[in-house]
Amino acid sequence: MTEGDRPPRSGGDAQPAPNTSGPDDQAATQGVRSAVGRHPWRTLAFSVAVIIVVVGGAGVLWIDHQGNTGVPGGRQVVINVHQGEDTAAVTTKLQREKVVGSALALQAWLLLHGAPSIGTGTYKFHQHESFASVKSDLEAGPNVLLLQLPPGSSVEQVSQLVAQLPGHDGTAFLALATGGTLHSPWSPPGSTNLDGLLGAGTYQVMPGETDTQLLIQMIGRFNQMAKSAGLAASEQKVGRTPYEVITVASIVQKEAGITKNMAAVSRVIYNRLAAGMPLQSDATLRYAEHRNGGAVTPQDEQLPTAYNTFTNKGLTPTPICSPSAAALRAALSPAQGSWRYYVVTGKDGTESFATTEVQHRADQALARQRGLQ
């Protein structure tokens, strides 16, 4: 079937959401051992040694006293050690977070008792630890894992990310997330599907943290985002229930590609719903087929599923992914316009919007001319 024979789609191929994590997060995730702590003492040893010589035995007693004032059960704190940071920088962070009382005393104590090689990564400590406990923590290496949950991730894709964490099981996580044990306040009655209801972003996974605790964090983060966006007032804003707006936002997330398209894509969705037109979203079909990319064929468009928005009118039964805050805002505040079609016409992902089929076909021709279809 040729392009002209097929009904015009509402949009082009969706692009997976870009990974926006910074270099510091990536370094922490890798947990690589670095040269930090291997030769940090050359810059500090002389001055600390002078202090010890000057104060003599009293100084050694003071250092040991400082190192043994730890009180078990202090408040948990997390410290990031970045590539290239020396021991002075690390001990300063420990003092600032009240893990130890004196960075200088810790440096001197480590000179006397042996300095660990400090690895780049993220560490969990407790306030008011003993120097021996701090040394043991540093020697053990980074113990906090970082999980990146990009906007546009389905629950199934989140479970695949969790499976990469040591000590976690992706299959068990997926069963937990779809079994109805945990609920979101935004879920409709009887729903066990948490798609769209997990907050995107970076999660610090602590030693011993369970999948249940991690999933509760994800639900809580989305709740915060939804409240900040004013989701509870969705009926007044766009005449849709909060769950319907989340569903719209999830489709916007996948179809818009980049933030500047989102408000207009949201408007196209609402315009098509109001006109009784099928959404014709490639992204909803990909969700049904458990994939995150690739072309949608005429055969795909006949798939017998409630997520086929080529053959079914209205919204999908559930959201198809976790929307970003920007997508949720776009679903609550769509742009003003009469558009019913969109297609990517810019190499940077910019989409063109059309009200008529004739205009849309011209936009599609431009996209093909630019090698974008």
DSSP string for 270-326: HHHHHHT-----HHHHHHHTT-S-SPPPTTGGG--STT-TTTS-S--SS-SS---HH
Asked whether residue 47 carries a pLDDT value surpassing 80, the answer given is no
Between 59 and 20, whose confidence is greater? Answer: 59
Same domain, 131 and 176: no
Per the DSSP assignment, residues forming a β-bridge with 145 are 205
In contact, 63 and 109? CB cutoff 8 Å: yes
Regarding whether 241 and 155 lie in a shared domain, the answer is no
Asked if residue 94 is part of any domain, the answer here is yes
72 plus 131 within the same structural domain? yes
Provide, rounded to the nearest whole percent, the portion of the chain with pLDDT above 70.
80
The percentage of residues in the chain with a pLDDT greater than 90, rounded to a whole number, is 74
SS3 200: coil
Q: Are residues 319 and 344 in the same domain?
A: yes
Neighbours of 207 (CB within 10 A): 10
Averaged over 7-26, what is the pLDDT? 45
Q: Same domain for 277 and 362? A: yes
- Asked if residue 3 has pLDDT above 50, the reply is no
Nearest Cα residue to 16 out of 211, 271, 220, 200:
200
Chosen domain end from 140, 155, 177: 140
Distance of CA 236 to the CA centre of its chain: 29
- The model's pLDDT over 293-312, given as tens digits with 9 standing for 90+, comes to 999 999 999 999 999 999 99
| Confidence category of residue 33, pLDDT binned at 50, 70, 90 | very low
pLDDT for residue 15:
44
In a domain, 12, yes or no: no
pLDDT attached to residue 57: 54
Picking from 82, 111, 140, the residue at the C-terminal end of a domain is 140
What is the structure's pLDDT at 70?
57
Question: Can you state the percent helix, strand and coil of the chain, rounding each to 5?
Answer: 45, 10, 45
Residue 10 domain-assigned (yes or no): no
Boundaries of domain holding 98: 32-140
From CA 245, how far away is CA 258, in angstroms rounded? Answer: 19
- For residues 101 and 155, the model is more confident at 155
pLDDT of residue 113: 84
Note whether residue 210 is domain-resident.
Answer: yes
User: Which residues are CB-neighbours of 359 under 8 A, at least 6 positions away?
Assistant: 341
List pLDDT tens digits, range 319-337: 999 999 999 999 999 999 9
CB neighbour burial string for 171-193, b if at least 16 within 10 angstroms, e if fewer: eebbebbbeeebebebbeeebeb
pLDDT given for residue 31 in this prediction: 42
| Shared-domain flag, residues 252 and 342 | yes
CATH number for 193: 3.30.1490
Q: Say if 15 falls within a structural domain.
A: no
C-alpha pair distances (Å), 241 with each of 185, 188, 234, 263: 13, 10, 6, 18
Name the 3-class secondary structure at 48.
helix
C-alpha 40/C-alpha 36 separation (Å) is: 7
pLDDT of 209-236, one tens digit each? 999 999 999 999 999 999 999 999 999 9
Q: Which residue has better confidence, 46 or 298?
A: 298
Confidence at residue 361, expressed as pLDDT on a 0 to 100 scale: 97
For residue 204, is it within any domain?
yes
Residues 161 and 134 in one domain: no
Structure tokens at 141: 């290496």
- Give the number of domains in the chain: 3
* Cα–Cα–Cα angle for 54, 56, 61, rounded to 5 degrees: 130
Q: Is 280 within the bounds of a domain?
A: yes
Domain closes at, from 107, 140, 173: 140
pLDDT in the model for residue 283: 97
CATH number for 96: 3.30.1490.480
